[in-house]
Structure 1
Amino acid sequence: MLPRLAEIEKDLALRRKRAEEEQWLGEVEGIDLTLTLVRAKQADAAGAARRPPVVLGIPTTRRPSQ
């Protein structure tokens, strides 16, 4: 997920640059908001990647009681 988020961030930065050049102020504002959310998602994903996996064990079936 992190490589895809980095790709999205890079694309948004390029779109923001174009929007600034064209003076599309509303577009710049929208891209800034999206960039903020993407960066937060990157931080969450990086934190999750550092946490060890949870071992749930192998499920078993119950024996019928007699």
Structure 2
Amino acid sequence: DPKGILKDDILPDGTKVRAGEMVTYVPYSMGRMEYLWGHDAAEFKPERWIKDGVLQQVSPFKFTAFQ
């Protein structure tokens, strides 16, 4: 999902971007990143979001397909 940068800006993580550059992210890949989800990122595990029977709040930016 590429986005064109219209004016210099700073992304929420502190990354500087300049006008004319492109920023691309791939939600499919983000959902499989081990550093975000653990070594078992490819496994369907609803319990990732449940602790002691309570649904845990996770940032919607962690996996943009959830937005």
TM-score bracket, shorter-length normalisation: under 0.3
Q: Higher relative contact order at CA 8 Å, sep ≥6: structure 1 or structure 2?
A: 1
Q: How does the TM-score come out when normalised to structure 2?
A: 0.23
More strand by percentage:
2
Larger Rg: 1
TM-score by length of 1: 0.24
